[in-house]
Structure 1
């Protein structure tokens, strides 16, 4: 259960600097949300999001407002990370920035809570299954374990030929190196925390 990687477009050597990473680092080091910075700088939240993802090159006027709002000089800001402060001790990921995967029938959604650099070793997800939905998986590599903790509603877990029903608050631990499936037999949506531990 891994997500495809997506690379940011590189900054053109002849064009304006891509300040997205510097902006994001400065904003997070000051524990500002996109909404906070938007209000402080007078720049729309959608524009801020595009700048941080290097999808938009801001005008000098926008850069000046952002630099003032963050308390840094325009020169440092344009250095594209050269004067970026160290990563914050606590990095907060906003809800809109958490990637999600949906099953083909859209009844199952996995919000990828773990960082991409841990994929293939240790992964965790917020799993939501609509009534009647089933998330079926082929066997993972030998030794892979899954841990499913139901947060709301009820779910069924099938691993190989065995199946168990879980109620709110219960956790199932099972081998995921066989065909396995998680379903929602109830009449309302169910949510769970799904942890996948791959062999070392």
Structure 2
């Protein structure tokens, strides 16, 4: 960790000059300047005084921020093959997120799990084939290149009545799959 750089970032973020931080931490402006440029290193006690003057703690100061993963590759996917469908979990650990995308494959005669009523919303995009969306007492045929969007107020499921495999990108908020 580049301590000097992080101290400077915090100081600038708080809108403090070197002189103001020196006054708050009872250190000299010259010492702080050298420290920010990594020309000198503070003792633990001095570093503690500085981070307290910046309104934080040593624990927070040294806490490593975990980088959020933005891109997922096929090796990251988890495939769950069931009798009537296959789910590709294309974003791992989505329970912590606000939405959950899956790639659903339905073979001929395949049928998804039934989604019970919930407070969320769902979106689907048919990538291959066509599916029947059963939503309450209604049925809708959705072809390749078409989409569906629904509130989770009624029970619903997807069915493949065709002879070819259907693939659907299905996104739910909140995560329900």
TM-score, scaled relative to structure 2: 0.54
Are 2:169 and 1:193 aligned? yes
CA distance in 2, matches of 1:118, 1:190: 26
**Cα distance, 1:185 vs. partner?**
1.0
Query: Aligned pair 1:153/2:129, yes or no?
Result: yes
Deviation for aligned residue 1:131:
0.7
Q: Distance in 2 between matches of 1:110 and 1:146?
A: 16
| Partner deviation per Cα, 1:125-152 (whole Å, 9 max, x = no partner) | 11111011011314142x2211111011
Show the counterpart of 1:93: 72
Q: How does 1:20-99 map to 2 (within 5 A)?
A: 87=67, 92-99=71-78
Distance 2:97 2:69 in 1: 24
Q: Which consecutive unaligned segments of at least 5 residues does structure 2 have?
A: 1-63
Task: Provide the rounded CA distance (Å) in 1 between the counterparts of 2:97 and 2:72.
Answer: 21
From 162, 179, 184, the equivalent of 2:138 is 162
Give 1:183 deviation, angstroms.
0.7
Indicate conservation of the 8 Å contact 1:108/1:134, yes or no.
Answer: yes
1:146 to 1:90, Cα distance in 2 relative to 1, 3 A = closer
- What is the correspondence of 1:2-17 to structure 2 with a 5 Å cutoff? none
Q: State the 1:192 CA deviation.
A: 1.2
1:113 CA drift (Å): 1.6
CA RMSD of aligned residues (A): 2.7
Measured after TM superposition, the shift of residue 180 of structure 1 is: 0.9
**Displacement, 1:187?**
0.4
TM (norm. structure 1) is 0.49
Match of 1:134 among 98, 106, 111: 111
Cα distance in 2 between the residues matched to 1:117 and 1:130: 25
How much has 1:198 moved relative to structure 2? 2.4
- Confirm or deny that 1:121 pairs with 2:98: yes
2:150 counterpart residue number:
174
Aligned partners of 1:108 and 1:129 also within 8 Å: yes
**Cα distance in 1, alignment partners of residues 103 and 165 from structure 2:** 13
Whole-Å separation in 2 of the counterparts to 1:96 and 1:117: 16
- Give the number of aligned pairs: 112
Structure 1 unaligned residues grouped into runs of 5+ = 1-83
In the TM superposition, residue 116 of structure 1 has moved relative to its aligned partner by 1.2
Task: Go from structure 1 to structure 2 and tell me whether the alpha carbon gap of 1:132 and 1:197 turns closer, same or farther (over 3 Å shift).
Answer: same
Secondary structure of the 1:96 match is helix
